[in-house]
Amino acid sequence: MDSSERDPNAPHLSDDQEHNRLLAEMAEQSTDMISRHTPGDWRFIYASPAVEHLLGYRVDEIIGMSAYELYHPDDVEDFKRRAPSVSYERGTYTHSYRFRCKDGHYTWLESTSRSIRDPQTGELKEILVVSRDASRRINAEQTNRRLARVVENSSDLVVFFDLQQQVTDLNESARRLLGLDPGATPLSLSQLFSVNSYAQLQQGLPMAERSDQWHAEAEMQASSGQLIPVSLELLTHRDATGQAAYYSILARDLSARRAMEAERQRYQAEVSHASRLMTMGEMASGLAHELNQPLTAIVNYVRGLERRSVGKSELPVTLLEKPLHKIADTALRAGEIIRRMMDFTRKSLPQREAVALAPVLEDVLQFCATSAHSANVRLTSRIAESVPAVLADRIQLEQILLNLLLNAIEASASGENEAPGEVWIDALESTQGQVIIRVHDRGCGLPEGDSEQLFQQFYTTKQQGLGMGLAISRSLVEAHGGQLWAEPAEQGGAVFSFSLSRAESTDAENR
């Protein structure tokens, strides 16, 4: 039977009585707590059964208790002062407060109270209160307030904007970094970004709409025109129907990081330049020897011509042609040696580009040729043509190869009458879009102990050694995003391997 239906055997009630009976029944069944209180000390005269669910008290337990006993101490005063949390509306007032449950914990209630007065005398007779659980709402509000404080005080820039791309909110960091007044006139999103970054953002918006989130590195623009590099997340916020309602941008200022990176790059360029000069110094006598050969050859060709022209007033062109060609070729070869030296010792900031291994290696092998010759070492390249180009700074790649090759030559040096030492270089493609370049030797083998020690600065087993070559080579390889390691070779000697990104695959990833 529906609870509002009457028992047919019950005595007949007047309309007023029936009305009151229905109200009483609704109060009994309501999930909101309905209570009546004495004026002054607010003792419970009546409480509906919802009190049990809301506060844990049985109805008969709470009757007679004063509401003041159950208020949170901080809220009693607030209530008495009719603080802003108490609002009046046409004889009723609503306020939120903490009330102590039977188990001692406090819960948030929102109550609407109404004074009941004697219609004749106007005397306050009792107070009627409807209370509901407000803990979820209050907790959500507190969470929102906490989040808002975090957003406001975050060192990251936070920007909210609507579907028309009008900025609706900025946090303190965004206002400070972009040089905007708190009361600045409404801004459009385009005013906060460089032209390119704004265009980039326009492409990102549909993606953020599809997948809620989009990431990019961009440049924001301060009101002074200064550009600020940032890493940003673009978030889509939706309404109840799932439609995009507004967007937010969370941006991290990368200026300090970029400056540090530039400083680190500059420092590394200095160190690697100094190291190249040192290597060149070590190789100076070998290079002088190498340069001497073409110069001597040129002198010999010229002497030959001199001899042929002695006592003659004319020489046939056919006789001059060949030696002149040879002189020109040899001079060019000498020029080539000088060009390599100049390239190698030039001071420049690293520039990554697609570098084919074969021509670089040809240059480096030429460089080491004299050292290899005097150490009686055979130097060969076994790099297959199919090995793809790598993404690297050409000079630094030469530097790494030269360090490894000179070490390998030194470790493989043999006497004039002994079998020549063997050093060769090969490369293979790894599955992770990398190329691994390996320098093999059959020399003395790695020193005893952990092979990692070789890469520490100043570690050397050589009398004249500095112990910087491998440390610098490793830092150069790592700056390229690769790794450099050493292993003993199976048949004696050592293998030094390093990895670099394939040029094509990296280009493809960037696209």
Q: CA 72, 76, 77, 79: dihedral to nearest 10 degrees?
A: 120
Distance CA 186, CA 169 (A): 10
Residue nearest to ligand ADP (CB): 469
Binding segment for ligand ADP (CB under 6 A), chosen from 105-113, 193-201, 323-331, 441-449, is 441-449
DSSP 346: -
Of 228 and 486, the one with the shorter C-beta distance to ligand ADP is 486
Q: Which of residues 5-64 bind ligand ADP (CB under 6 A)?
A: none
Q: Which of residues 364-403 bind ligand ADP (CB under 6 A)?
A: 403
485 touches ligand ADP (CB under 6 A): no
The residues near 363 (Cβ < 8 Å, ≥ 6 apart) are 340, 398
492 touches ligand ADP (CB under 6 A): no
421 touches ligand ADP (CB under 6 A): no
Binding segment for ligand ADP (CB under 6 A), chosen from 252-260, 265-273, 315-323, 440-448, is 440-448
SS3 of 78, please?
A: helix
Q: Under a CB-based contact definition with an 8 Å cutoff, are residues 173 and 230 in contact?
A: no
Q: Which of these, 440, 472, 479, 481, lies nearest to 454 by C-alpha position?
A: 472
Q: Under a CB-based contact definition with an 8 Å cutoff, are residues 337 and 291 in contact?
A: yes
467 touches ligand ADP (CB under 6 A): yes
414 touches ligand ADP (CB under 6 A): no
Of 50 and 423, the one with the shorter C-beta distance to ligand ADP is 423
Write the secondary structure of 6-56 as one string of H (helix), E (strand) and C (coil): CCCCCCCCCHHHHHHHHHHHHHHHCCCEEEEECCCCCEEEEECCHHHHHHC
461 touches ligand ADP (CB under 6 A): yes
CB of 261 to ligand ADP, least distance (A): 26
SS3 of 373, please?
A: helix
Out of 411, 437, 476, 484, the residue judged to bind ligand ADP by CB under 6 A: 411
Of 219 and 422, the one with the shorter C-beta distance to ligand ADP is 422
For 358: left if phi > 0, alpha if psi spans -120 to 50, otherwise beta; the answer is: alpha
Out of 130, 427, 470, 484, the residue judged to bind ligand ADP by CB under 6 A: 470
441 touches ligand ADP (CB under 6 A): yes
Q: Under a CB-based contact definition with an 8 Å cutoff, are residues 169 and 187 in contact?
A: no
The residues near 37 (Cβ < 8 Å, ≥ 6 apart) are 43, 44, 45, 67, 126, 127, 129
Of 129 and 470, the one with the shorter C-beta distance to ligand ADP is 470
Kindly report the backbone phi and psi dihedral angles of residue 238, in degrees, each rounded to the nearest multiple of 5, phi listed first: -110, 160
CB of 478 to ligand ADP, least distance (A): 15
466 touches ligand ADP (CB under 6 A): yes
443 touches ligand ADP (CB under 6 A): yes
Residues near ligand ADP (CB under 6 A) are: 403, 407-408, 411, 441, 443-447, 454, 459-462, 465-471, 494
